[in-house]
Amino acid sequence: MSDPSPAYEFVSRAKLPTRFGEFTIHGFVETATQQEHVALSYGTWKTNAVVPIRIHSECLTGDALFSTRCDCGFQLEKALQNIVEYGHGVILYLRQEGRGIGLLNKIKAYSLQDTGMDTVEANEHLGFDADLRDYSICKLMLDTLSIQNVELMTNNPKKINALKKMGINVVKRKPIDHGVTDDNKHYLMTKTAKLGHVFNPDKLK
Ligand SMILES: Nc1nc2c(ncn2[C@@H]2O[C@H](COP(=O)(O)OP(=O)(O)OP(=O)(O)O)[C@@H](O)[C@H]2O)c(=O)[nH]1
Ligand SMILES: [Zn+2]
């Protein structure tokens, strides 16, 4: 029997100058769904080096529309800055809007949160699990970029476990607790209480 078609494929790469420095954008596609994902790389490294990376889940409202309802935009900016300061690193930008439920369902979930539900209750009220994200594409992205050892910028232990399960060596976690606002404090507290995030309690006072 011939091999089944690969679940994900690398498509193309190009230079991506940004406000922070010159990155390279690498495009990938999920074969079954045609869902597109990108990685942004900066600088160079040896194959066995520990490379600072962030797995960033798409958040149109936070990343592109300056929302302060969540911390995503602040984290993305800080991660890009960190990488340029380190001299090298990668953002795996996964198109998992709304923790995997999509943009319009996230807006429905926000609407329920406007009436008093928390982020988990809202997802469940809509018939979704609290977090539907799948990180398996990260393996192809990291292999394509010759990365085996990482320092992961995150507050979410699930991302560490997902990388470890795919054979990536997570040498260190770098907390990324920037962007606490009056608008997102309750959301961040819920993530800590119900979704297992690790957050410096002093920052949530
Ligand atoms: N369903 C839903 N998704 C949300 C909500 N607020 C933010 N998101 C999405 O959550 C994702 C980001 O997840 P977070 O829980 O903020 O952070 P994380 O990626 O798990 O962890 P970090 O690496 O620490 O940032 C993005 O896809 C956002 O669009 C919400 O209230 N409901
Ligand atoms: Zn967000």
By residue count, the chain amounts to: 205
Instruction: Note the pLDDT of residue 3.
Output: 57
- List all residues whose CB is within 6 A of at least one atom of ligand 1: 57-59, 70, 72, 75, 96-99, 101, 106, 109-110, 113, 119, 123, 154-156, 159, 176, 191, 197
Catalytic hit among 133, 134, 143, 183: 133
Which residue has the CA at smallest separation from atom 4 of ligand 1? 98
Which pLDDT tens digit goes with each residue over 25-70?
999 999 999 999 999 999 999 999 999 999 999 999 999 999 999 9
- Which ligand 1 atom is the nearest neighbour of the CA of 195? 15
Instruction: Note the pLDDT of residue 4.
Output: 67
Cβ proximity of 36 and 27 under 8 Å: yes
- Pull the structure tokens for residue 26: 């690498």
**182 assigned to active site:** no
Cα separation, 204 vs 185, in Å, equals 6
Cβ proximity of 170 and 71 under 8 Å: no
Cβ proximity of 118 and 186 under 8 Å: yes
Q: How far is the CA of 59 from the centre of ligand 2 (A)?
A: 5
Cα separation, 153 vs 177, in Å, equals 10
**131 assigned to active site:** yes
Which residue has the CA at smallest separation from atom 23 of ligand 1? 154
Catalytic hit among 63, 71, 118, 131: 131
CATH topology of domain 8-96+133-197: Rossmann fold (3.40.50)
Strand 169-174 and strand 8-17: the pairing is unpaired
Cα separation, 197 vs 72, in Å, equals 14
Q: How far is the CA of 148 from the centre of ligand 1 (A)?
A: 26
Cβ proximity of 138 and 26 under 8 Å: no
Read off the DSSP letter of residue 115: T
pTM assigned to the model: 0.95
Instruction: Note the pLDDT of residue 198.
Output: 87
Cβ proximity of 36 and 138 under 8 Å: no
Which residue has the CA at smallest separation from atom 11 of ligand 1? 99
Cα separation, 29 vs 180, in Å, equals 33
Instruction: Note the pLDDT of residue 98.
Output: 98
What are the Cα distances from residue 77, in Å, to 4, 67, 93, 139?
Answer: 39, 13, 13, 24
What are the Cα distances from residue 161, in Å, to 48, 76, 118?
Answer: 20, 21, 25
pLDDT above 70: percentage of residues in the chain: 98
According to the annotation, is 99 in a ligand binding site?
Answer: yes
- Sequence ranges of the domains in the chain: 8-96+133-197
- Pull the structure tokens for residue 18: 């940004």
The stretches in the chain having pLDDT less than 50 are: 2
